[in-house]
Amino acid sequence: MILWHASSISREEKPHRDGGDEGDQPVSKSSKSSAESFLPRAAVLVVFVIVLDLWGSQHFGLGFRNPGVIAGVVAAIAYAVNLVGRLVPKSERENAGERLAGWIRRALTPEVLLVLGTAMLLLMASVSSVTVIGDTADANTRISVYPVGSPDRVRVDSLSSAPGLARFLVLSSALGRTFRVEASGYLPAAFDVYPVVGRKIRLGRDMSLAPTVLFRPSVDALRSLAGGGSLHVYRIEGGDKRLVVDTTGLEPAAYYIGRPPALPSSTVKDWERALSGQLPPSVIDQTILRWKTLVALTTGDVAPGVSLMAEVVSRAGKPVARAEVVVGESRLVDVPLMDVKS
């Protein structure tokens, strides 16, 4: 369609170019035909602008469809025209208008439109975006996006608090490209990202919530942590243990991996029941208070099926309490650390 316009415009424009400098009559006639031939080009330009606007809106979140932007631009132009009209004499104004029109006509040649259209096509075919959308609970959630197979090209951002989204401009291809998206508190997932339309990902719908693993140290372990002990968490993969958390000087508390857990009162009552009869009431109260203090462990999320081992080690480096767990499907995986009997 662009090519058709260009050729038709090219054909219509030839007389004007050939006789542009030959007296008033030809000029007037050619001006009329030039004005007529300019309209399709202007229409093409408008189409370009609209497409660009749509594309920019899709991938950048910006566009002239924004009422505020449109109103601002229109007001600015109107004001500028009005100002020029008042300051410049009529004859000069007409001359200036003619000159401006001439410049625009000469600039908006079919070749220029062709180049512009091709550039737009290439841009839209290669640049796309991944938009991650969360809700208020996901504010400041850390998002990572990288092409599958190229984790070194990771790009990281956080969900903004107000709109609750994060945009990543990515290089795609005409047939689409697969990206891996990771969001703290959610299970990582891979998405095909196509040009023009990009990809919108809604946390919780397109990406499942990751299980929260809650480690509850025993009474002995809480005391050991208060005395300078440390917490180690290992990821068990194929019989090998990989240390993923090694912290010392932690406040005695319950520690979690994943999203901050909401503790149901029934869970807390279960804890109280488990301690009842084993400890004096005052110690039970203190222990429950410790367990209700939730401290996040800075490590990646865990997916169902992952094996973890947590261990509290005393100041002297001796194991005090330990637990192993294979993460299941439930949202909250409660893991009590049991005393290590020597």
Partner 1 sequence: MRPTPILPTRWPSLLPLAVTLLVSATPAHAQERTHVGVQFILGDELYRSELTGAEITQLETDAGSLLAAELGRRIGYLDFRPSDSANYQVQFVVARRSAAPGGTAADALAQIGVFARLRGTSPMTREVYWLTLRRPEDALMPVGTPADILDQLRLKLRLNADYNLLSDSLLVHVPLADSATSLGDPFGWLLPFSRDEVCLDLQSRLQIVGTVPSQIGQLERVLTAEITSVSGTLPSQPTSSEVARFLLFGEAEQGQQHYEELRQAVIAGKLTLRAIYVIKYQPSPCLQPVSPGEGPLVSGGGS
Residue from 314, 325, 335, 337 in contact with partner 1 (CB under 8 A): 314
User: How many CB atoms are located within 10 Å of the residue 196 CB?
Assistant: 15
Q: Which stretch binds partner 1 (CB under 8 A): 36-44, 53-61, 157-165, 227-235?
A: 227-235
| Residue 36 phi, psi dihedral angles, 5° rounding | -65, -40
DSSP structure string for 319-333: EEEEEEEE--SSSEE
Q: What beta strand segments (E) does 110-239 contain?
A: 127-133, 142-147, 155-158, 165-171, 177-183, 189-193, 199-202, 212-216, 230-237
Measured from the CB atom, the residue of 75 and 338 that comes closer to partner 1 is: 338
- The answer to whether residue 341 forms part of the interface with partner 1 (CB under 8 A) is yes
- The answer to whether residue 282 forms part of the interface with partner 1 (CB under 8 A) is yes
Q: Which two tokens stand for residue 243?
A: 């240390």
CB of 274 to partner 1, least distance (A): 10
- The answer to whether residue 286 forms part of the interface with partner 1 (CB under 8 A) is yes
CB 74 within 8 A of CB 80: no
Q: Which stretch binds partner 1 (CB under 8 A): 10-18, 92-100, 192-200, 284-292?
A: 284-292
Residue list 243-272, contact with partner 1 (CB under 8 A): 252
Q: Which stretch binds partner 1 (CB under 8 A): 175-183, 196-204, 260-268, 275-283?
A: 275-283
HEC states along 253-278? Answer: CEEEECCCCCCCHHHHHHHHHHHECC
- The answer to whether residue 279 forms part of the interface with partner 1 (CB under 8 A) is yes
- The answer to whether residue 228 forms part of the interface with partner 1 (CB under 8 A) is yes
Instruction: List residues binding partner 1 (CB under 8 A).
Output: 219-220, 222-224, 226-229, 252, 278-280, 282-283, 286-287, 290, 314-320, 341-342
